Structure 1
Amino acid sequence: MNLFRSLGAALLPLLLAAGCSTPMPGPAPMTVATVASTGPAHSTGKTEVLWLGQASIRVTTPGGKVIMIDPWLTSNPKTPANFKQLEALGKIDLVLVTHAHFDHVADAPALAKLHKAPVWGPAGLNQTLATYGVLPAELSPRFGKGGTITPWGPTGPKITAVHAEHSSEYAWKNPATGKEEVLPGGEPVGFILEMENGFKIWHMGDTAVYGDMRLIGEMYRPDLLLIPIGGHFVMNPADAAMATRDMIRPRYAIPIHYGTIPQLKGTPAEYRAAMGASAVQILSVEPGQKVDF
């Protein structure tokens, strides 16, 4: 008996250490599938994640709410042709924007007006959108880093704004003067989306590596990471792999924000190679493909 107790005492710290350095096991997602037809998303009781190029993601929650993140579709060279018409997305209940750059906010105002769906984004950006008449105030509500919204009540999905290390300027053509202007865009953010069933997604927006990624990972324990890997304006594959493997440790990761313009040279293959031996499941998704969790 004393021998077993001694072995248990010796092994316990090792087991605990191992548990802290690898993600918790979870059910494998369904097979990646191409969304060939247009039309509304359908509730399946699962979390559906549809990537449409760059950082544009349509999330359908287990309860059937549809959230569009960083919509740049109509002029995005990576968005499939069948989704370049905004009506092809189907009903959108809410739009999230991580920051003010064109490739993240471009189609947000049009989607908001089409569906009477609020655009939630950094407080400074939303103030600019409302002040300059890009959106009416009721479609441009404000919240900030550390804030959590529950748009459909306490039992619905929760959305928390977290830090991103980037910039955020809103460029537009002033209709009164016809001149191009650059306006304040607030501070960039990422979003933690918690589904009705507790599944959590971290859409990181555009970001460099920063130390508090580890803290955010510990606080929210995201199941799925949507992580930029292109380099130049965001993390490169090696930086993204380090953040994924050593700091955040999600169950799954989908690389985004690469290959759209020449500067975004990072590739999923480089990201996967840089990850090395890791328990994180890297999902290979092309624009127009979805994964169900």
Structure 2
Amino acid sequence: MTRLLKTAAMTLGLVLGLAQALPALAQDKVKVQWLGQAAFKITTVAGKVIVIDPWLQTNPKTPEAYRKLEALGKVDLVLVTHGHFDHMADAPALAKMHNAPLWAPAGLSQSLAILGVLPGNQALRMNKSGTVTPLGPDVKVTLVKAEHSSELVWKNPATGRDEVHVGGEPGGFVIEFENGFKLWHMGDTGVFGDMKLIADMYRPDLVLMPIGGGQFVMNPQHAAMVTKEMIRPKAVIPMHYLTNPGLPGTPADYTKALGETGVKVLAIQPGETVEF
């Protein structure tokens, strides 16, 4: 009986040890969740949460479950690519809610601080080729070029009228994670030659790419050309399409234009998550 009890105890200890190890094994990947338009929630290997370009509460493509900002859970870092409403509408509120830093192109952050939208110690400035490590040295965030515009529309509380303020230059973010995985959120952009330079410098595994076309960003055909001839990533998540009539491109259009390629197109739906 004693020997049986010892064996049972050893078996139980082994099972408990494996159970404790499994969560750690499950956390060795980066989680990327699309929330509609250009909004993403990204969870690092260590469990830190980055939110990029949050337009959630009034975004018609954001699932109802995520239109309440509290549904995102703890947010550790907010990144904004440029000053347009559909990219930063909920960014200040999220930063305030979690006392999280908000990093954005320098002119945009400066306007947010001067207008009193965010305290200066939360509206943090960076510029293209600048790299910051707000979550610790193992997660690097670099601002890179985008070809777009960036006006900040602010409602003056004294007059009730909208005002247009400096929004800085638009950008995208390259993020390198603890496990070596690299992601490029392109923000809003048209085609520009230095896309190839950025790809050669940072070698992103995954690109979050606007494809909506119309009068705002790359159309599916341009996005496909960029994917095949300039960036050549392992995977692409199409974004920034069909939110309004001015963004008519679709993942099907993009995939058709891409043709035979080794690039994996992850045409996920808002609310869905993929891991890397």
C-alpha distance in 1 between matches for 2:133 and 2:90: 23
Q: Give runs of aligned pairs for residues 171-182 of structure 1, distance below 5 A.
A: 171-182=153-164
TM-score by length of 1: 0.84
Measure the CA separation in 2 of the matches of 1:88 and 1:119: 19
- Per-residue deviation, 1:153: 2.8
Find the aligned partners of 1:289 and 1:52 in 2 and give their Cα distance. 8
Give structure 1 stretches of 5+ with no counterpart.
Answer: 1-42
Post-superposition CA distance 1:71-127 (Å, at most 9, x none): 000000000000000000000000000000000000001001100001100000000
Q: Which residue of 2 aligns with 1:229?
A: 211
Structure 2 stretches lacking a partner, 5+ long: 1-25
Question: Could you tell me the TM-score, scaled by structure 2's length?
Answer: 0.90
Deviations 1:27-74 (A, max 9, x none): xxxxxxxxxxxxxxxx72211000000000000011111000000000
SS for the counterpart of 1:141 is strand
| Matched residue, 1:72 | 55
Structure 2 Cα separation of the partners of residues 152 and 135 of structure 1: 20
* TM superposition outliers: structure 1 runs of 4+ over 6 Å: none
* Aligned residue number for residue 104 of structure 1: 87
Residue 163 in 1 paired to residue 160 in 2?
no
Is residue 133 of structure 2 the alignment partner of residue 133 of structure 1? no
Distance 1:130 1:259 in 2: 33
1:59 alignment counterpart: 42
Report how far residue 177 of structure 1 moved. 1.7
How far the C-alpha of 1:165 sits from its partner, in A, is 0.1
- Distance (whole Å) between structure 2 residues aligned to residue 101 and residue 95 of structure 1: 15
Whether 1:116 aligns to 2:116 is no
CA distance in 2, matches of 1:197, 1:46: 7
| C-alpha distance in 2 between matches for 1:59 and 1:220 | 19
Alpha-carbon distance in structure 2 between the residues aligned to 1:161 and 1:124: 13
Residue 179 of structure 1: CA displacement? 1.4
Aligned counterpart, 1:260: 243
Aligned to 1:47: 30
Residue 152 of structure 1 and its aligned partner are, at CA, apart by 2.7
Distance 1:205 1:263 in 2: 17
Distance in 2 of aligned mates of 1:252 and 1:223: 6
Deviation of 1:210 after TM superposition, in Å, equals 0.2
How far apart in 2 are the matches of 1:44 and 1:74? 29
Cα distance in 2, alignment partners of residues 284 and 270 from structure 1:
11
Q: How does 1:80-95 map to 2 (within 5 A)?
A: 80-95=63-78
Cα distance in 1 for partners of 2:171, 2:161 equals 28
SS at match of 1:137: coil
**Which letter maps to 2:62?**
T
The higher radius of gyration belongs to: 2
Matched residues in 1 for 2:56 and 2:160: separation? 24
- Equivalent-residue separation in structure 2 for 1:196 and 1:87 (angstroms): 26
Q: Report the counterpart of residue 250 of structure 1 in structure 2.
A: 233
Q: CA RMSD in A?
A: 0.8
